[in-house]
Homo-oligomer: A and B are copies of this chain.
Amino acid sequence: MKKLIILATGLFLGVTAFAQQALWGGPQVESPVINADGTVTFRYQAPKAVKVEVTGDFLPTEKMEFEMNGRKMTADVPGVGVFKEGANGVWEYTTPFVVAPEMYTYTFRVDGQTVIDPNNVFVNRDIASLTSVLLVPKAGERSDLYAIHPVAHGSVSKVWYHSETAGFDRRLTVYTPAGYETSKAKYPVLYVLHGIGGDEDAWVTQGRATQILDNLIARGEAKPMIVVFTNGNISQEAAPLENSTGYTRPTVGLPQTMEGTFETSFPEVVKFIDSRYRTIAKKQSRAICGLSMGGFHTLYITLNNPDMFNYSGMFSAAIGTGSEQTAAHKEIYENVDGKLAAYFSKKPALLWIGIGQTDFLYQANVDFRAKLDAAGYPYKYMETDGGHIWKNWRIYLSEFVPLLFK
């Protein structure tokens, strides 16, 4: 029989929480800690460990070469911080630099095993990887857009639509701006697409998209708009543990992600949204954007439906990877030059392209812009530091949204 005295007046703990404490005893350490000087300290209690490290996008990057579909590419990957063991088996690492205001993800590596920080409850899932979240907010900095402020908040809903293409119901995340429910007005719609590592949750968790929208709208820097986050894995009903296949481990490389089926099916999403919500159901009031695979989807959905979107944003778009070669719906990727000509002849309000200087997709985007330049097609372009990371995608969304529906 174990004993525990809870020193509480007028409150009590759920057994799940205190059972852990009781069974295993002792306080956990505090990690991460944003120090007064702007450095960040990470801690991990492991008296028997031989080596403890941290990696994450707050650390300086190093170069990595890799091959994809036979093409040599280079990517920036996060560096490593090495912990030192202190008293009571508490390992500690403090950054030797001030950590800039941003939202970061990180993991620990303890004697060969990757773990998230057990003392940090803010966790992201990206495909089959868990990471801990570090948010360094600062008023006046860009990362302030990612924080929640006491402004009017939109509603964020998980909604199912029937996909004729897939043959089953599929899940969307839908943001309706503050005031939508009490208004009779019609609203423009932005569609936001994730990368191959994501699903309909990704932009809302790692992307902080609903915070960005709330804050930009509250500041008067963006129009109130409905925002729809699709699931670009057309073979999947919904995010892992949210679909009827049950307890399946998420994997990368789901079927039908970059072979035309999702692009072909996209108009059924637009049709559903226009039927369910008070939208301004015309090109002038529709926008689409996406990151990585979602940037690739954005390009081809736009080009194959030139009367559908007036604003298109390609964020670190995964063009030039060769996936078109084995597509099930080759027609989606064919005659790009002709489709570009047709698209631009209709004078879309905005084609927006953003990419990081060390993104492994940088050259493919250089090549694509060269094609646009050669034909004299107009677009807006943003180049940032860093690579294929969420930091950049949050920046691109923050830049793209204020340009819409003006």
Contacts and interface: CB of A to CB of B under 8 A. Distances in A.
Copies in the complex: 2
A348 interface: no
Interface stretch (A223-231, A252-260, A302-310, A373-381): A252-260
A186 interface: no
A149 B196 CA distance: 25
B150 A155 contact: no
A22 B123 CA distance: 21
Given A127-B14, A131-B16, A387-B15, A113 B118 contact: yes
Contacts of A9: 69, 326
Nearest to A57: B16
B19 A64 contact: yes
Interface stretch (A243-251, A261-269, A334-342, A395-403): A243-251
A23 B116 contact: no
Chain A: interface residue count, which band?
Answer: 35 or more
A3 B72 CA distance: 10
Contact of A130 (B123, B137, B168): B123
A96 interface: no
A87 interface: no
A10 B118 contact: no
Contacts of A105: 16
A18 B89 CA distance: 30
Given A15-B77, A22-B64, 16 more contacts: A2-B62, A3-B64, A5-B66, A8-B253, A10-B326, A13-B197, A14-B196, A15-B75, A15-B76, A16-B126, A46-B110, A121-B128, A147-B244, A150-B244, A152-B169, A155-B157
B389 A66 contact: no
A112 B89 contact: yes
A89 B113 CA distance: 10
B153 A169 contact: yes
Nearest to A390: B16
B240 A8 contact: no
Contact of A114 (B20, B30, B126, B129): B20
Interface string A113-148: 111101001110111111101010100000000011
Contacts of A22: 64, 66, 77
A44 interface: yes
Nearest to A49: B48
A73 to B, nearest CB: 9
A8 B68 contact: yes
A252 B387 CA distance: 39
A55 B25 CA distance: 14
